[in-house]
Chain A
Amino acid sequence: MTGAERKIVTASVGGLVYVLSALFAQIAGWPVLWYLPVARGWALAPHPPTGVLGMDLYGRYLLAGVLGAVAAGVTWAATGRMAKSDAKDAAAPVPAVFWVALLVFAGVSLTFIILLATRSLTPPPLPDWYVPR
């Protein structure tokens, strides 16, 4: 394995874990950090507190980033002995894990599009100061 292949494998495995974590945190309701923009606080839970507006984007991708970084670190360490610094890159094929990661990225993106495009929203009650404009 060349140094470049090692980088591709590491980034692909980290990326796989990152995108799958982001998806499963959304559909399986993993506990993540929710930011509560109006209450100006944080909550660690699968869902925001009842009746409180919450945003899970920060917490969900923080969790995915941490899990992806751990997976990439483990992969980098595990492939250390396989890497040869003097190996030539010319004949090296693209590691299969890159194509798998790319397919999973496309699949997860499509799943997010379908999930979010077909959801129904429940708007909160309008506050008394609200003036439509």
Chain B
Amino acid sequence: MTSPPEVFMGDFARVFVVLHAISGMMAAAVSAHLALYSWKSLKTGFDGPRIRAFARVTFGAWAVCIASGMLAYPKFRYFARALYLDRHAPWAANLFDIKENLGMLLLPIVLIALFLALGERGPKGSGTRRVLAVAATACFITLTLCVVAGLFVTLAKGI
């Protein structure tokens, strides 16, 4: 009988998954604040310190989420997806790949929100504030979908 293969970072994969979940939830929660304050800034003053902090934390948490997910991915891909999900819960395998792609596609939107929040100096109702509000809302919706999808996948089979 052969033994299970060694995969990259396999011994630390569970730690990375926990970090992945925490940072993903943090990104979704803080992006909600970013979206709310950005929409509010269209009619009132721009709360620069708060909005800039929310944008920085959203980007930082998203980046940690992506990095930790990538480090945990080789173990998940073989031991959870290939050996179990593909056979017994293909819906979860597909949902996992949907989540991964949505999270990665978010990169330009997160960057737009970060750059505009850090550089915003326009008056209320300006075009940049509208773009910031829309981008922050897109971040919140996508990140929330990813978090919910991740929870369902983990309920089907963890590593």
Contacts and interface: CB of A to CB of B under 8 A. Distances in A.
Interface of A: 3-5, 7-8, 11-12, 14-15, 18-19, 22, 35, 37-38, 40, 53, 55, 57-58, 61, 65, 68, 89-90, 92-95, 98, 101-102, 105, 108-109, 112-113, 116-117, 119-124, 126-130, 132
A121 B95 CA distance: 12
A11 B112 contact: yes
B74 A117 contact: no
Which secondary structure dominates chain B's binding surface?
helix
A41 to B, nearest CB: 11
B101 A112 contact: yes
Nearest to B78: A37
A37 B8 contact: yes
Interface of B: 1-8, 70, 73-75, 77-78, 82-84, 86-87, 90, 93-95, 97-98, 100-102, 104-105, 107-109, 111-112, 115-116, 119-123, 125-128, 130-131, 134, 138, 142
A19 B108 contact: yes
